[in-house]
Amino acid sequence: MKTVIIYSGGLDSTVLLYHLRDAGHELHALSIDYGQRHRCELGHAAAICAALGIPHPTADLSAIQPLLAGSSLTSPEIDVAEGHYTEESMKSTVVPNRNMIFLSIATGHALSIQAGQIAYAAHSGDHAIYPDCRNEFADAMAIAIKLADWKQVELIRPFVDWTKADIVRRGAELGVPFAQTWSCYKGGERHCGRCGTCIERREAFDLAGVEDPTLYNDDAPDVEILRANDWRLKPNGDDCDSYHS
């Protein structure tokens, strides 16, 4: 099956890339530059696809960044929240209507290359924060996609009921190069180890029992401290006791 995968270069979408490749899909990866703060992820996506020989166009939508203001990922003046992924402050990372935009572009690309499916890596942990990762949203989009053209394109989301730890375990089974993936919303030279997506990444590796090869900043708290504090950052900064790679 020819399948367009919405691909960021992050952990979830990279595991999905390998998962679908293992299942025999003819993959066409699509990345989107929407002016995101962490656009360094696009370079990671390109490198992984090049290594696998997977076609990988990038849609340059960076001009729409001002139209999607109000998120810490698109508005430089808004700080990226630190802490656990499920905390209320993480809603500041929601980019208005992002997945609908992504799915619309992917649908057009799929139709143009006669692909029968579009895949994206929404998982169960996303639902609390991102409304466009909920099953209700994806179900509605699946219907809209089928109505968008006379040709039928199916929307699939194989990880929708998986936890992040499940995804890490599957990635380990498939030999995913986790160190080459990018998650951090701050977009620095290394993962900060403190923003919501970094904490979620670290928690997932720990719960999955898989070694985390990610390089984190010097002030990233120790995993043992995070685990003891239920993966929350301590407000007084006592979680910054040691350096981690």
In this prediction, residue 89 carries a pLDDT of 75
Q: What is the CATH number of the domain that holds 57?
A: 3.40.50.620
Across the chain, mean pLDDT equals 92
User: Which residue numbers in the chain have pLDDT < 50?
Assistant: 241-245
Residue 193 domain flag: no
Is residue 20 assigned to a domain? Answer: yes
Residue 120 covered by a domain: yes
Write the DSSP string, 189-236. SSB-S-BHHHHHHHHHHHHHT------B-TTPPPHHHHHHTTTPPPTT
Q: What residue numbers bound the domain in which 128 lies?
A: 2-187
Specify if 115 maps to a domain: yes
Alpha helices, H only, the chain = 11-22, 41-52, 98-112, 135-147, 164-174, 196-208, 223-228
Whether 240 is covered by a domain: the verdict is no
Please tell me the pTM assigned to this model. Answer: 0.92
Q: How far apart are CA 81 and CA 45, in angstroms?
A: 24
Tokens 């730890």 label which residue?
165
3-state secondary structure of 26: strand
Q: How many domains does the chain have?
A: 1
**Residue whose entry in the numeric block shows the structure tokens 């656990």:** 84
pLDDT digits (tens, 9 = 90+) for 182-239: 999 999 999 999 999 999 999 999 999 999 999 999 999 999 999 999 888 876 555 5
Q: Residue 121: inside a domain, yes or no?
A: yes
In the structure encoding, which two tokens stand for residue 93, read together?
């990372």
Q: Give residues with Cβ within 8 angstroms of 58, minimum separation 6.
A: 30, 31, 32, 33, 42, 45, 46
> Does 178 reside within a domain?
yes
Is there a domain that residue 200 lies in? no
CA 232 to chain centre: 21
